[in-house]
Amino acid sequence: MAIRPVDLFTVVPSPEEERFDTLLSGKGPWRLERIVSAGQSSPRSFWYDQDEDEWVTLLSGRATLLFADDDGSTESVDLLPGQALLIPAHRRHRVTSTSAEPPCLWLALHGKST
Amino acid sequence: MAIRPVDLFTVVPSPEEERFDTLLSGKGPWRLERIVSAGQSSPRSFWYDQDEDEWVTLLSGRATLLFADDDGSTESVDLLPGQALLIPAHRRHRVTSTSAEPPCLWLALHGKST
């Protein structure tokens, strides 16, 4: 059976909406996702609050995430290509900004880490 | 708790041996690994024969993998940065070559996909 590489960058970014593609998933459960952003950000009143940990790696572009602590304080984190971070389950966060040129290509691994 | 990005590229490649770092793991089991190669290749008589699927993404460098079929035929696959491929469990393979300049930075996700 032929082995065919996939080029993660051959995806057309949309200025309208972010694109999410599941690349692989398994029991656990865990799920590897490609995300392509091009200028999008989370709504201002919105927080992601996820049941699982998320390991996110930025492959291209520039992005800024905002994290909230339970005491109401927030922390802004800039990401450059090649940088990765672990977002623990239920750590509230939102995407403050993503670059459109170049678009942001992310790899996100969702799962409960041990 | 402060969120600190990790720069996946701030690792010193070694001409002596490949470097393997587990970034994250969980039940399933699954395991996300960073691999840094700099000119290494698998021994000629060696085949990886893994119990789990492996999704491998090349982030920098150039690499060539060789895959074996049960009928004895082989297939060579070149990888460029941003390319990824799924190596099914028990698909025998070896690394034919990895570039030293720039070194090869890989993300490998090991697990049984569904």
pLDDT digits (tens, 9 = 90+) for A61-110: 999 999 998 898 999 999 999 999 999 999 999 999 999 999 999 999 99
Q: How far is B86 from chain A (nearest CA, A)?
A: 8
Cα radius of gyration rounded to whole Å, chain B: 15
Q: Measured between CA atoms, how close is A40 to chain B, in angstroms?
A: 21
ipTM reported for the complex, 2 dp: 0.90
The separation between CA B35 and the C-alpha centre of its own chain, rounded to angstroms, equals 6
Contacts of residue B5, defined as CB under 8 A and 6 or more positions apart, other chains included, come to: A77, A78, A79, A83, A84, A85
The two structure tokens encoding residue B14: 């070694």
Contact with chain A for residue B84, Cβ under 8 A: yes
Asked whether residue A13 is domain-assigned, the answer is no
Nearest chain B residue to A23, by CA: B55
Contact between B31 and B110 under an 8 Å Cβ cutoff? The reply is: yes
- Does residue A5 have a cis bond before it (omega within 30 degrees)? no
Q: Between chains, do B26 and A79 touch, taking CB under 8 Å as contact?
A: no
| Any domain includes B5 | no
pLDDT band at B14 (very low <50, low <70, confident <90, very high): confident
* Cα(A45)–Cα(A67) distance, integer angstroms: 13
Quote the CA–CA distance of B64 and B96 in Å, as a whole number. 5
B1: confidence class by pLDDT, cuts 50, 70, 90: low
Asked if the structure places residue B96 within a domain, the reply is: yes
| Residue A36: CATH number of its domain | 2.60.120.10
User: What's the predicted TM-score (pTM) here?
Assistant: 0.93
Q: What angle do CA B16, B22, B27 make, to 5 degrees?
A: 150
- Using a CB-CB distance cutoff of 8 angstroms, which residues of chain A are in contact with residue B107? 57, 107
In a domain, A43, yes or no: yes
Residue A8 lies in a domain: no
Residue A1 has a pLDDT of 64
Residues of B within 8 A of A109 (CB-CB) are: 24, 32, 109
Whether B33 is in a domain gets the answer yes
Over residues B16-27, the pLDDT tens digits come to 889 999 999 999
Judge whether A88 lies within some domain.
yes
pLDDT at residue A26, rounded to an integer: 95
What is d(CA B102, CA B4) in angstroms, rounded to the nearest whole number?
26
Asked if residue A21 lies in contact with residue A9, where contact means CB atoms within 8 angstroms, the answer is no
Count of domains for chain A: 1
What the block records as the tokens of A24 is 């692989």
Strand pairing partners for A6?
B84
Query: Is residue B100 less than 8 Å (CB to CB) from chain A?
Result: no
Pair type for strands B63-68 and B30-37: unpaired
- pLDDT, one tens digit per residue, over A16-52 is 889 999 999 999 899 999 999 999 999 888 999 999 9
Instruction: Tell me, yes or no, whether A38 lies in a domain.
Output: yes
State which residues form the domain around A27.
19-111
Question: Which amino acid, one-letter code, is at B92?
Answer: R
A75 CB near a chain B CB, below 8 Å? Answer: yes
Q: Which two tokens stand for residue B104?
A: 């090869």
